[in-house]
């Protein structure tokens, strides 16, 4: 999902090793948590619209299910790799543990580019993915969800295929479904809102008013858009966003020092989060290089795109004005960059805490689907706020008590909870 020299799984393992040393974990705990419990690799043959056949490579990695059924999204991406999926599955284990929901960590993917596929072809990939993995997922053992370049429609096709194979109605087999087809109100907003719930709590701790802050956001997909929405409702101002341009195969930053207007940008954005450059320029936005988002003189940075975005090569470009980084993406900051951020005293809200709103609301959807009873939107978002706030306070308290970097404090809580579950089950 990034440059070839970057390996997300090695990064995830490095982060784990650091915390295993802090916790003084015994070797058996390290061995069972450092690698996935099981993983699946398979082919998905599809008859394309032109009559030819193409075989796509699919994956599902189940990192750990000691605390409950596996949980994690399915990515469609042309540069998907098994190591990226392994890393994301591990991060899902810690994410579910840090917000204390009874789920484990999984992740899935298909090497494909939806930009170049018809809806029919995408449907066949979805159904083919389920046919290959149906025996190994389900409402009580592993529950997929949408992720990069997959949507509620993809999830519905997958649920339908699973029900055809299983011969029953199982809306709890997958989350992120359309509302009215087993989906939950509030699920679309959940990840972006969750980022801002944790950001709000960080600002409270630092005695900073949201209306006195300015932010720069990387990405303009679902997470970024809803984070911008809630952050601006709290009074903050976003001056730039960045996004990937499919036509140019590169990224751009769109800056408006007077403040980004979310609704006007949404009108000129495709469903993959790509902003029309010409129309943006006509609206008064400066078009800057893709990495310019990180160099802005702002109080808050919100990386909300993909992994490996704040690295040893660009971390020094972060303005001295920046006080908080809230990671909306998974794994956007490398361990080498983390050391610089920690040394500078920037308050870090780590990814698996900041963006846990999505999996938390997915859990709510799963509960509702299994009960066949659905909650009102204010109930969903109220429960989400309570969960995210409680998790943030627990991590912040741990960081202060043990004098730990916020990422390390979040890991200490998560790894401890999962290792404890493994011990209770008699696995180690």
Residues 328, 357 contacting (CB under 8 angstroms): no
Write down the catalytic residue from 71, 95, 107, 177: 107
Q: From residue 168, how far is each of 130, 159, 164 by CA, in Å?
A: 15, 11, 7
Residues 134, 166 contacting (CB under 8 angstroms): yes
Residues 86, 63 contacting (CB under 8 angstroms): yes
> Which pairs count as long-range contacts for 260-266, CB under 8 Å and 24+ apart, including other chains?
260/228, 262/225, 262/228, 262/229, 262/232, 265/220, 265/241, 266/225
Q: Is 107 a catalytic residue?
A: yes
Tokens, residue 334: 């490398």
Q: What are the E-state strand segments in 141-236?
A: 142-146, 214-218
Q: What is the number of other CB atoms lying within 10 angstroms of the CB of residue 198?
A: 26
Secondary-structure percent of the chain, ordered helix, strand, coil, rounded to 5:
50, 20, 30
- Beta strands at 250-255 and 286-289: parallel, antiparallel or unpaired: antiparallel
Residues 57, 36 contacting (CB under 8 angstroms): no
Residues 277, 245 contacting (CB under 8 angstroms): yes
Look at residues 204, 231, 210 and name the one whose alpha carbon lies nearest to residue 396. Answer: 204
Residues 388, 190 contacting (CB under 8 angstroms): no
Which residue reads 């890991």 in tokens?
A: 411
Q: State the Cα–Cα distance between residues 318 and 22, nearest whole angstrom.
A: 28
How many contiguous H segments (helices) and E segments (strands) does the chain have? 14, 12
Residues catalogued as catalytic: 107
């Amino acid at each position: 999902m990034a440059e070839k020299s970057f390996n997300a799984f090695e990064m995830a393992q490095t982060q784990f090793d650091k915390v295993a040393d802090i916790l003084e974990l015994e070797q058996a705990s390290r061995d069972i948590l450092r690698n996935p419990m099981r993983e699946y690799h398979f082919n998905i043959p599809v008859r394309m619209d032109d009559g030819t056949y193409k075989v796509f490579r699919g994956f599902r990695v189940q990192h750990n299910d000691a605390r409950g059924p596996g949980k994690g999204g399915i990515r469609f991406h042309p540069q998907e790799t098994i190591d990226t999926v392994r890393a994301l599955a591990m991060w899902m284990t810690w994410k579910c543990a840090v917000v204390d929901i009874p789920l484990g960590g999984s992740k899935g993917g298909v090497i494909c580019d939806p930009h170049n596929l018809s809806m029919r072809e995408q449907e066949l990939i979805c159904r083919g993915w389920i046919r290959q993995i149906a025996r190994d997922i389900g409402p009580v053992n592993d529950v997929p969800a949408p992720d990069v370049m997959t949507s509620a429609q993809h999830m519905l096709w997958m649920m339908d295929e699973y029900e055809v194979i299983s011969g029953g109605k199982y809306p709890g087999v997958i989350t992120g479904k359309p509302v009215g087809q087993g989906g939950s109100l509030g699920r679309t907003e959940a990840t972006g809102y969750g980022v801002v719930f944790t950001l709000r709590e960080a600002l409270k701790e630092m005695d900073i008013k949201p209306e006195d802050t300015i932010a720069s956001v990387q990405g303009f997909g679902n997470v970024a858009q809803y984070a911008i929405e809630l952050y601006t409702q709290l009074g903050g101002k976003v001056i730039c966003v960045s996004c990937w341009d499919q036509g140019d195969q590169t990224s751009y930053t769109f800056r408006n020092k007077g403040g980004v207007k979310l609704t006007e940008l949404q009108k000129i954005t495709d469903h993959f989060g790509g902003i029309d450059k010409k129309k943006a320029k006509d609206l008064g936005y400066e078009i800057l290089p893709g990495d310019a988002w990180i160099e802005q003189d702002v109080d808050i940075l919100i990386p909300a795109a993909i992994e490996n975005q704040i690295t040893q090569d660009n971390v020094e470009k972060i303005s001295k004005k920046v006080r908080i980084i809230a990671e909306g993406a998974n794994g956007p900051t490398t361990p080498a960059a983390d050391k610089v951020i920690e040394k500078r005293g920037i308050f870090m809200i780590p990814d698996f805490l900041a963006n846990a709103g999505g999996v938390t609301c997915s859990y709510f959807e799963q509960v509702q689907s299994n009960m066949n009873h659905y909650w009102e939107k204010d109930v969903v978002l109220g429960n989400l706020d309570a969960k995210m706030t409680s998790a943030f306070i627990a991590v912040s308290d741990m960081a202060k008590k043990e004098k730990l970097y916020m990422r390390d404090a979040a890991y200490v809580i998560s790894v401890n909870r999962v290792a404890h579950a493994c011990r209770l089950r008699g696995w180690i």
